[in-house]
């Protein structure tokens, strides 16, 4: 037993990598929220511009828990460079529990996005959504993504929010 503990201590980096890979595998393949017929990929055609009307500082939002949480941004399809069929926003705590999940359609014009992508179809990629009241203050990861046909894409950009 002492030898096993010594080996684990000496190889702590490899143990951490093992558990990270195990976590990713379990979350990817055993996620109860994911439909069985949807494949998942990552993309970068997205942004959360404001939460509660406040822009992020270094990718981090700090907002008040009073009132409903409002999110503004855009989500496009990075493969077809078009508007997504649906977008989703999830608030995830540090235990990887999804505490809020909203699925919606784009509902806000974004001519700046269309101009940046040089594609008029990207103009209708914006959203301005009410995520409702967040009852538990704390720090959360905001997961943003799109659903197009059978393809679910998750934004590669990292968004964090502190709700106090």
Q: Domain segments of the chain: what residues? A: 1-30, 36-163
pLDDT at position 40 is 58
pLDDT band at 42 (very low <50, low <70, confident <90, very high): low
Least confident interval from 8-17, 37-46, 127-136, 155-164: 8-17
Cβ neighbors of 129 (< 8 A, separation 6 or more) are 70, 71, 72, 89, 102, 104, 107
Kindly report the pTM of this predicted structure: 0.68
Greater model confidence, 25 or 154: 154
> How long is the chain?
164
- Which of helix, strand or coil describes residue 150? coil
Q: What is the mean pLDDT of residues 117-144?
A: 88
Q: In the CATH hierarchy, which fold is given to the domain comprising 36-163?
A: Immunoglobulin-like (2.60.40)
Q: What pLDDT is stored for residue 18 in this prediction?
A: 45
């Amino acid at each position: 037993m002492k030898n096993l503990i010594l080996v684990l201590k000496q190889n702590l980096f490899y143990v951490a990598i093992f558990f990270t890979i195990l976590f990713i595998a379990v979350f990817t393949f055993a996620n109860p929220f994911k439909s069985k017929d949807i494949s998942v990929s990552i993309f970068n055609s997205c942004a959360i511009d404001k939460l509660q009307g406040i822009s992020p500082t270094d990718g981090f939002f700090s907002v008040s828990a009073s009132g409903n949480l409002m999110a503004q941004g855009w989500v496009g399809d990075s493969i077809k460079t078009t508007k997504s069929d649906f977008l989703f926003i999830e608030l995830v705590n540090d235990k990887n529990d999804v505490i809020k999940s909203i699925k919606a359609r784009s509902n806000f014009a974004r001519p700046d996005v269309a101009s940046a992508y040089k594609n008029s179809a990207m103009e209708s990629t914006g959203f301005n959504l009410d995520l409702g009241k967040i009852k538990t203050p704390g720090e959360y990861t905001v997961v943003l993504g799109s659903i197009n046909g059978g393809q679910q894409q998750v934004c590669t950009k990292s968004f964090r929010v502190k709700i106090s």
